[in-house]
Amino acid sequence: MILFVGAGPGDVELITVKGMKALQEADCVIYAGSLVNPKLIDTYCKEDVIIYNSAKMDLDEVIEVMVEMEKDNKKVVRLHTGDPSIYGAIREQMDRLIEHKIEFDVIPGVSSFVAAASRLKEEFTLPDVSQTIIITRLPGRTGHGEGGQLEELAKHRASMAIFLSVQSIGEVMVKLRKSYEARTPVAVVYKATWDDEKIVRGTLEDIEKKVEEASITRFAQILIGDFMSDKYSLSKLYDKGFSHMYRTAVSSEER
Ligand code: SAH
């Protein structure tokens, strides 16, 4: 049995209880090098756990380790940063395991875009501001044939979380400025929840300079949108005058 486990954003306490238990029981952990906090393995794994860093391996090598471990009935955890379903490249691994008739399961994790929002103490969805979050990235070296897409997505003026793109923050801002106003808030969160986390706040106009000054060139979330400004409407859900399934409205005299 192979378990794909979301490691969470970095803080060792931000893995799920299920994920933690999987690490405690693992005979072998294959972790995604640079962005999985190695402290997770030190904190939760058995002393004699076999560890592989997948940053140094190709897909064939990863699958080979899984197949060999499975032959010996060893429990394998494939540890991915954040949540495995977002830019985790797990699909290709799962398909290969199906070919090998090896059972697997997936345990979700706290994705870095929600971890970043928590560190900023912000809410992505606000009444009369945005009820939509777009998760995207610039096309990278891994090429996924979606060039120009960011300009299209910007037209929605939704709340946005951009992964894997801080190295080209200038290019991101140019594309977004075609639809968002220049004063729209932007926050860059480097290594959210790690000990060396950095937070930079600005606008579409000045964030590039601030990110440069903070020497952030990788491992960061770029969050964009008016959800980080001061204006919004109060939610109906907690409004005294609004009834819903679990609560009846009070009349204005009662308030
Ligand atoms: N599956 C992961 C994303 C993997 S892609 C998730 O759900 O978060 C790697 C990118 O994720 C990084 O380049 C960065 O943009 C973002 N990222 C991952 N961990 C992060 C963290 N702790 N803080 C900020 N960004 C992070």
Rounded CA-CA distance 112/133 in Å is 14
Q: Would you list the domain boundaries of the chain?
A: 2-107, 112-228
**SS3 state at 246:** coil
Residue 43 has pLDDT above 60, yes or no: yes
CA of 157 to the centre of ligand 1 (A): 22
Q: Give the burial class of 1: count Cβ atoms within 10 A of its Cβ; 0-12 exposed, 13-18 middle, 19 or more buried.
A: middle
The pLDDT of residue 236: 77
The pLDDT of residue 138: 93
Q: Whose CA is nearest to atom 13 of ligand 1?
A: 164
The pLDDT of residue 164: 96
Q: Say what the pTM is.
A: 0.92
Which DSSP state fits 251? P
Q: Which ligand 1 atom sits closest to the C-alpha of 10?
A: 22
Residue 55 has phi, psi (to 5 degrees) of: -60, -25
* C-alpha to C-alpha distances, 46 to 40, 43, 144, nearest whole angstrom: 11, 9, 39
For the chain, give the mean pLDDT.
93
Rounded to an integer, the average pLDDT of 2-26 is 98
Measured between its terminal Cα atoms, the distance across the chain in Å is 57
Rounded to an integer, the average pLDDT of 200-228 is 98
Q: Residue 231's pLDDT band (boundaries 50, 70, 90)?
A: confident
| 68-98 per-position pLDDT tens digit | 999 999 999 999 999 999 999 999 999 999 9
Residue 189 has phi, psi (to 5 degrees) of: -115, 115
CA pseudo-torsion sign 24, 25, 29, 31: negative
Identical fold at 2-107 and 112-228? no
| Residue ranges lining ligand 1, Cβ < 6 Å | 9-10, 35, 80-83, 86-88, 111-112, 115-116, 163-164, 189, 191-194, 219-221
Of 112, 167, 196, which is best to mutate to test ligand 1, by the most ligand atoms within 8 angstroms of its C-beta? 112
The pLDDT of residue 144: 56
Annotation: CATH topology of 112-228: 3.30.950
CA of 9 to the centre of ligand 1 (A): 7
The pLDDT of residue 246: 78
| 114-162 per-position pLDDT tens digit | 999 999 999 999 999 999 999 999 987 665 555 579 999 999 999 999 9
Q: Which residues does 188 contact at the CB level (< 8 Å), separation at least 6?
A: 166, 169, 199, 200, 207, 210, 211, 214, 216, 220, 221, 222, 223
CA of 247 to the centre of ligand 1 (A): 39
Residue 248 has pLDDT above 90, yes or no: no
Name the architecture of domain 2-107: 3-Layer(aba) Sandwich (3.40)
Of 4, 5, 40, 219, which is best to mutate to test ligand 1, by the most ligand atoms within 8 angstroms of its C-beta? 219
